[in-house]
Structure 1
Amino acid sequence: MQETAGGYRGYRSFDYLEPHRDYKVFELAPEIGRVPEHDLGLTDGQQERVARLLREQMAISLHEHPKILPADVSQLRDYNRTGRNSFGFEGLARSGMTAVFDNFMNGTGCVTSEHAWKWDDVIYDIGLRFADVAKQDHVVVATTLEQIFEAKRNGQLALVAGLEAATMIENELDRIDILYGFGVRQMGIAYSQANMLGSGLSEDRDGGLTHFGRRAVDRMNKLGIAIDISHSGDQTSLDVIEASRVPVFITHAGARSVWNTPRMKPDEVIRACAERGGVIGIEAAPHTTLSADHPHHSIESVMDHFTYCVELVGIDHVAFGPDTNFGDHVGLHDSFTQHLAIGKAHGVVDHPRVPYVSGMENPAECFSNIVGWLVAHDYSDDEIAKVIGGNIIRVLQEVW
Structure 2
Amino acid sequence: MSTKLGQGKKKVYDGYTSFQYLEAGVDYKEYKLSKQNDRVTPYVYSLSEDEEEQVQQILEEDYIVSMHEHTFIMPENLLDFFEFRRQGRDWTGYKALSESGLDVVFENFMDGTAMVTSMAGWKWSDVIHDIGIRYSDIAHQDLLIKAERISDLYRAKKEGKIAFVGALESSTMIENELDRLDILYGFGIRTMGIVYSEANQLGAGLREPNDAGLTVFGKQAVRRMNKLGITIDVSHAGDQTSLDTIEESEKPVTINHAGARALWDTKRLKPDSVIKACAEKGGVIGIEAAPHSTITKAHPEHNIESFMEHFEYVANLVGIDHVAFGPDTLFGDHVGTHDLLAGQLSIKSAQMPGLKKVEYVKGLENPAECMPNIIRWLVKKGYSREDIRKVAGGNVLRVLEATWAK
Same-fold call, TM cutoff 0.5:
yes
What residue identity is the alignment partner of 1:8? Answer: Y
- Residue 27 of structure 1, CA deviation: 0.3
**Which of 217, 221, 228 is 1:216 aligned to?**
221
- Residue 335 of structure 1, CA deviation: 0.8
Tell me if 1:329 matches 2:342: no
The 5 A counterparts of 1:221-236 are: 221-236=226-241
- Between the aligned partners of 1:198 and 1:338, the Cα distance in structure 2 is 20
| Runs of at least 4 residues off by over 4 Å | none
Q: Deviations over 1:254-287 (max 9, x none)?
A: 0000111000000000000000100000000000
- Between the aligned partners of 1:330 and 1:220, the Cα distance in structure 2 is 33
Asked if structure 2 preserves the Cα contact closer than 8 Å seen for 1:84 and 1:125, the reply is yes
What residue identity is the alignment partner of 1:272? Answer: A
Tell me if 1:190 matches 2:195: yes
What residue identity is the alignment partner of 2:182? Answer: D
| Corresponding residue of 1:29 | 34
Tell me if 1:148 matches 2:153: yes
Tell me if 1:159 matches 2:164: yes
TM-score (structure 1 length as normaliser): 0.97
The 5 A counterparts of 1:62-77 are: 62-77=67-82
- Between the aligned partners of 1:347 and 1:248, the Cα distance in structure 2 is 31
| Corresponding residue of 2:357 | 353
**Which of 259, 265, 268 is 1:260 aligned to?**
265
Tell me if 1:126 matches 2:131: yes
- Between the aligned partners of 1:39 and 1:62, the Cα distance in structure 2 is 21
- Between the aligned partners of 2:313 and 2:332, the Cα distance in structure 1 is 29
Q: Deviations over 1:145-196 (max 9, x none)?
A: 1001000100001100000000000000000001011110000011100000
Asked if structure 2 preserves the Cα contact closer than 8 Å seen for 1:83 and 1:128, the reply is yes
- Residue 37 of structure 1, CA deviation: 2.5
- Residue 34 of structure 1, CA deviation: 1.1
Tell me if 1:380 matches 2:403: no
What residue identity is the alignment partner of 2:172? Answer: T
For the residue of structure 2 that corresponds to 1:342, the secondary structure is coil
- Between the aligned partners of 1:386 and 1:12, the Cα distance in structure 2 is 33
* Structure 1: unaligned runs, 5 residues or longer: none
- Residue 63 of structure 1, CA deviation: 0.4
Over 3 Å counting, the alpha-carbon distance change for 1:250 and 1:34 in structure 2 is same
- Between the aligned partners of 2:359 and 2:97, the Cα distance in structure 1 is 22
- Between the aligned partners of 1:52 and 1:37, the Cα distance in structure 2 is 21
Q: Deviations over 1:271-307 (max 9, x none)?
A: 0000010000000000000011111100111000000
Q: Deviations over 1:350-382 (max 9, x none)?
A: 311000000000001101000000000000111
| Corresponding residue of 2:4 | none
**Which of 1, 7, 15 is 2:12 aligned to?**
7
The 5 A counterparts of 1:295-374 are: 295-343=300-348, 348-374=352-378
- Between the aligned partners of 2:56 and 2:79, the Cα distance in structure 1 is 37
136-145 or 197-206: which moved more?
Answer: 136-145
- Residue 40 of structure 1, CA deviation: 2.3
**Which of 285, 294, 298 is 1:293 aligned to?**
298
For the residue of structure 1 that corresponds to 2:285, the secondary structure is strand
What residue identity is the alignment partner of 2:257? Answer: H
TM-score (structure 2 length as normaliser): 0.96
What residue identity is the alignment partner of 2:126? Answer: D
Tell me if 1:87 matches 2:69: no
41-50 or 305-314: which moved more?
Answer: 41-50
Tell me if 1:272 matches 2:268: no
For the residue of structure 2 that corresponds to 1:46, the secondary structure is helix
What residue identity is the alignment partner of 1:306? Answer: F
Over 3 Å counting, the alpha-carbon distance change for 1:77 and 1:167 in structure 2 is same
- Between the aligned partners of 2:49 and 2:42, the Cα distance in structure 1 is 17
- Between the aligned partners of 1:74 and 1:113, the Cα distance in structure 2 is 18
Asked if structure 2 preserves the Cα contact closer than 8 Å seen for 1:252 and 1:322, the reply is yes
**Which of 367, 375, 400 is 1:396 aligned to?**
400
For the residue of structure 2 that corresponds to 1:277, the secondary structure is coil
261-270 or 67-76: which moved more?
Answer: 67-76
- Residue 21 of structure 1, CA deviation: 0.8
What residue identity is the alignment partner of 1:280? Answer: I
What residue identity is the alignment partner of 2:398? Answer: R
| Corresponding residue of 2:6 | none
Give the length in aligned residue pairs.
Answer: 395
- Between the aligned partners of 1:330 and 1:54, the Cα distance in structure 2 is 29
